[in-house]
Chain A
Amino acid sequence: MTTLLLATVGAILTLCVYSFLYKDNPFYKFAEHLVVGVSAGYYLVIYTFNFIVPNVTDPVFTLNLGGEAIRLGGLDWWMALAPGLLGLLLYTRFFPKIAWIGRWPLGIYVGGYAGLGISPVMQARVINQLRAGATPLAGTPDPFANMTNVCLGLVIFIAVTYLLLVKRQLGARNTGAKVGIVALAALVGYGGYVALSALSGAGVVNLTNVMLVVGLLGTLTYFFFSMRHTGVLGVLARIGIVFLMVGFGASFGYTVMSRISLLIGRVGFLIDWVGMFFS
C-alpha cells in the first residue's frame, strides 16, 4: 500500500513536470517550487551532516574524530577547529560593516583549489595527451585506412565541384554542363581514393595518423588568440574548426542516446505505476 502511495506521489509529480511541455501552468509551478525547496533543504542537511558534524563539531566538542578520541588542545583538535572558525567567518556577510572579513576564507578556498589543479592538469590534459598525439605517420598498421581514404576522396570530390561549379559559375546556365562537371569531379575524387588506397596499402604513409596530427595542430591553432587568423594560421584554424564541428556533431549524436534513455526510464516508471493498479 505504502509502495503504491509513494509511487503515486512520484507519478503525479512526473506528470506535473511533463505538463510544462504543453505550457507553463500551476501544476508545473507547484512541482518547480517544491523541488527547489526540497533540494535546497536536502543539500543543506547532507553537507552539514557529512562535513560540519564529523570534521568540526564532533572533534571540537566531543573530541571524536572519525571514531577515535582526540586530545583537547592537541594538533587534531586545532586542525578541526580551524575550518569551523573559517566557516563562521563566512557569515560576516550578514553584517555589512565587517563583511570584508568573509574574504579570508574565500581566499583560502579559491587559492587552495587553484593551486590544486595546476600540475594534475598539466600531466593529464597536456603531457599525456601530447604523448598520445605523437603518432607515427608511417610504418604502423592503419585499421581505419579505408574510411580515411573514402573521406579524403569525398573531400577531393567536393573541392573540385566547388572550384569548377561554384567559384567559376560555369554551370549556371547549362544543366548538362553541371552534370558533366559533377561527373568529372566524382571521377577525380574516385581517382584520388584509388591513389590514396594504393599509397596507404603499400604502407608508404599512414593517412589516418596524418589526419590526427593535422587535426590536432588545426584545433590548437584555432585557439590562438594573440594573432590574426590569416595565411598559414588561417588555413590551419579553418581545418581546426572543421574538425571541431565534426567532433561536436559526434557528441550530439551520442548524447541523443542518453537523453532518450532517460525518457525510456521515466516512461518505464509510469507504465509500472499504471500496472500497479491492475496487479
Chain B
Amino acid sequence: MRRQLPLALCFIFGVFTAIQYYVPHFRVQWFQERLLQWLMTLLAFAFLLGTVSLIKVHYHKLRDRAPDRGFSLVVFAGLFTMIGLGFIHPDHHAPGSPFNQMFLNVQVPIEATMFSLLAFYVASAAFRAFRARTLEATLLLIAAAIVMLGRVPIGDLISPKIPEATRWILEVPNLTAKRGVMIGVGLGMMATALKIMLGIERAWMGGSD
C-alpha cells in the first residue's frame, strides 16, 4: 500500500493518458477531459500546502528572533491581505476590485521591474563573462554580436549585409542546432516519462527503493 499502490496508480493513469492520444472516441475523450481537470484541481489543492510551508518558515523566523524577522511580518501582511480580499470579493478580475488593484499596483510593478533588471545583468554578463577563451566561446560571442546588430535598425544602417548574416545565422546554424536539441530533448522527455510510468524513476515518491 505504501509503495505499490502509488506506483500502480502512476502506471495506470499514465498508460491511459498515453493511449487516449490514439483513441478519438468521445467516450474515452470524455474521461480524458475529466482527468485533465482532476490534475489541475490537484495542483490547486497543493497551493494550500505551499502556503502553509511559507507561513511556517516565516513563523519560525519570528519565533526564533532571526535577523530581519520584521520583514516576515511584511510577508504575512501581503499574504493575508490578498487571501482576505480574494475571499471577500470573489470577483477577482473585476477592474475595480481591491484584489485586482493589489495585483496590478503591487505585484505587477515589482515583478515587471525584477524582470527588467535583466537588461542590466545582460550588460554586466556581456562584459564580465563573454570571453573568447575557446573556439566555442568565440563563436558564441560573434554570433551574439552579429544577431544583436542585425535585429535593430542601426544594423541596417551600418551594412545591409548584417541583417542578411543575422537571418543566415538564425535560419541555418541556429535552426539545425535547435532541431538537434529538440529531437534529443524530445527523446529524453519521452524516456523519463516512460521510466516514471514504469516505476524506474521513482524519486517523486522520495528515495529510489
Contacts and interface: CB of A to CB of B under 8 A. Distances in A.
Given A52-B45, A113-B17, 6 more contacts: A9-B106, A20-B117, A47-B43, A49-B90, A250-B174, A265-B112
A125 B185 contact: yes
20 contacts: A14-B112, A33-B71, A34-B78, A34-B110, A35-B114, A40-B50, A50-B44, A56-B41, A107-B13, A112-B38, A115-B15, A115-B19, A119-B18, A121-B193, A148-B172, A213-B176, A220-B180, A246-B173, A254-B151, A262-B119
Given A38-B79, A103-B205, A215-B173, A45 B144 contact: no
Contact of A116 (B18, B101, B167, B176): B18
B170 interface: yes
A276 to B, nearest CB: 14
Interface string A214-229: 0110111011000000
A69 interface: no
Interface of B: 1-3, 5-19, 21-22, 34-35, 37-52, 54, 68, 71-72, 74-83, 86-87, 90, 92, 99, 101-120, 122, 135-137, 139-148, 150-152, 164-187, 189-190, 192-194, 196-197, 204-205
B47 A44 contact: yes
A157 to B, nearest CB: 14
B131 to A, nearest CB: 13
A113 B152 contact: no
Contacts of A96: none
Interface stretch (A169-177, A182-190, A236-244): A236-244
Contact of B193 (A10, A118, A220, A251): A118
A18 B113 contact: yes
B110 to A, nearest CB: 4
Given A108-B10, A246-B177, A10 B116 contact: no
B140 A249 contact: yes
Contact of B41 (A18, A83, A129, A144): A83
Nearest to B89: A45
A55 to B, nearest CB: 5
Given A33-B74, A37-B82, A259-B119, A211 B173 contact: yes
Contacts of A147: 164-165, 168, 172
Given A252-B140, A253-B144, A42 B107 contact: yes
A133 interface: yes
Contact of B87 (A32, A45, A105): A45
Nearest to B187: A126
Interface string A119-149: 1111011100110110000000000100110
Contact of B10 (A46, A114, A124): A114
B122 A256 contact: yes
Contacts of A161: none
Contacts of A117: 189-190, 193
Contact of A243 (B51, B90, B173): B173
A202 interface: no
Contacts of B110: 13-14, 16-17, 31, 34-35
A266 B3 CA distance: 51
Nearest to B7: A107
A219 B79 contact: no
B109 A13 contact: yes
A273 B71 CA distance: 28
Nearest to B48: A44
Given A112-B13, A125-B183, A269 B41 contact: no
Contact of A6 (B17, B105, B141, B192): B105
